Amino acid sequence: MFGGDVPRAEGYLRKALSLDPHFTRARVELARCLIEEGKYDEAREQLKGVIDERQPSYIADWVMRHRPTAERLLAEIRSK
């Protein structure tokens, strides 16, 4: 993402979420950035937010892609 500039990507994703806190794709991608930076606790919070979302901006994407991805990533970092 952004040619490997994870902090820059993180900034843009946080901006996107400030504009639309229900944008679950941005939340999943932010969690991926946080995982890459070793910020597992914050990544868990973002992933749980995706899983628990009740008003996703794009419900079909949330059901078919974002929620399952969040569940998988959360399981992958469970022991970290």
5-22 tens-digit pLDDT: 999 999 999 999 999 999
User: What's the pLDDT at 3?
Assistant: 74
Q: Return d(Cα 70, Cα 3) in angstroms, integer.
A: 23
Domains of the chain: 2-76 (1.25.40.10)
User: What's the pLDDT at 33?
Assistant: 97
34-79 tens-digit pLDDT: 999 999 999 999 999 999 999 999 999 999 999 999 999 999 999 9
User: What's the pLDDT at 35?
Assistant: 97
